[in-house]
Amino acid sequence: MDRKSKKEEISWILYDVGNSAFVLIMVTALMPIFFKDVAAAGMSGAESTANWGFANSAASFILAVLSPILGALADYKGMKKRFFLFFIFLGMIFTLLLLFVGPGQWLLCLVLFVFARVGWAGANIFYDAFLVDVTSKERMDIVSTRGYGYGYVGSVVPFLLIIGLILGEGMQDGLPVGPIRASFVIVVCWWLLFSLPAIKTLRQRYYLPADASPIIGSLTRLWRTVKEIRQHKQVFVFLAAYFFYIDGVGTIITMSTAYGRDLGFGVTMLIVMLLFIQLVAFPFALLFGRLAEVFSTRRMLFAGIGVYCVATFMAFLLPVIGDPLPKTITFWCIAFLVASSMGGIQALSRSYYGKLIPAEKSAEYFGFYNVFGKFAAISGPLLMGLVGRLTGETRWGILSVLLLFVVGSVLLGGVKDSAE
């Protein structure tokens, strides 16, 4: 590999190191606790968990609607980078605005969080699409899994810094508000720092020629691509499978901390558990990439789905375990299972899809990839929230997630290994 190509791969991987801090702190770890304990103070556990799920669904819906149009526009020369930068800074600005959320301001908190998440997720559309520009098909699995793997390790550094601030102030009944507000600033600084190499280095190598009417031309191409995807059975069936199983993965990641609070686990334990997941996920993400070279990418996707099925069923059984020690041990076993497959299933889905699509239309096709992912992210938390509301118990919402993995694995069975 020449020096320039290696530099582009490293810059691409480093962006995952930076934006993973947002995932860990703002989506998975501290922000859900901050919302439930501060912004939604006084709400019942089931109601605040449902509202948190609805907010995540709203953010996903916005991106799902915009993704194909933005992707079509971004395939013109130079546009992929511009959209990438716009959404990075959108996410950073609204993350900083969360500094002004006070106790009981749950609606303001959710609105700001939705826009922050739209910025983060929107940037990821174009970041994913850059995968075809920075590496070859033969190296896609390795590069993609390294992005997720090093992202997990990188996100631990700002997380530990924030935990140090929290412990320095001390915890009594919950999280101290001051360090949590500081965490919003730390997330943005870390995200920006590791975005700089990508901002400087990434170049759009594959693109479509300029159009006299870019918007009309993009919409026309978009309609043609819809028909193309339907005609290309392998791409279409994979996207359908991805819709279901990634729905389950995203729901587990998004709702796990809130579910843990409903089960009565302490803030300290949840924070340590999330740190454990990040550290375990790193080597397993890299391992998935290596195993994909031996057993095929599709088979490793099946392995990841199977692990998530087991973890989901164990999570459903948690509330009926009476003794504290077995309950805690089971919770840690679930955390290990989630960590072992979390990065691998996401990274290999991205690289597998990248092998199936035409490189010159990568942003447009990854726009559809994100449509399926974002609509999936709407339905999962929404399904869990609705079932939890109707039954009055979050555990039944967790059980509903198992169906998503089962359907996804059945559909994935209809995809041939033509991308290998």
Domain ranges of the chain: 3-204+213-419
Q: Which residues contact 244 (CB under 8 A, 6 or more apart)?
A: 376, 404, 405, 407, 408, 411
Would you say residue 419 has pLDDT above 50?
A: no
Residue 48 confidence class, pLDDT cut points 50, 70, 90: confident
C-alpha span between 141 and 132 (Å, rounded): 11
The pLDDT assigned to 177 comes to 78
Q: What is the pLDDT of residue 1?
A: 56
Q: Integer distance in angstroms from the first to the last C-alpha of the chain?
A: 21
Class of the domain covering 3-204+213-419: mainly alpha
Question: Percent of the chain beyond pLDDT 70?
Answer: 84
Tell me phi and psi for residue 358, to 5 degrees: -70, 130
Strand-pairing partners, residue 249, are none
- pLDDT of amino acid 307: 93
Q: Taking Cα atoms as reference points, which of 161, 218, 169, 214 lies closest to residue 190?
A: 161
CB 238 within 8 A of CB 412: yes
How far apart are alpha carbons 182 and 369 in whole angstroms?
34
CB of 239 closer than 8 Å to CB of 229: yes
Exposed / middle / buried, residue 393 (Cβ in 10 Å: 0-12, 13-18, 19+):
middle
pLDDT single digits (tens) 262-314: 777 777 777 788 788 878 888 888 898 889 888 888 899 999 999 999 988 88
> Residue 216: its pLDDT value, please?
64
For 202, other C-beta atoms within 10 Å of its C-beta total: 20
User: Mean of the pLDDT values across residues 338-357?
Assistant: 86
* Mean pLDDT in residue range 93-118: 92
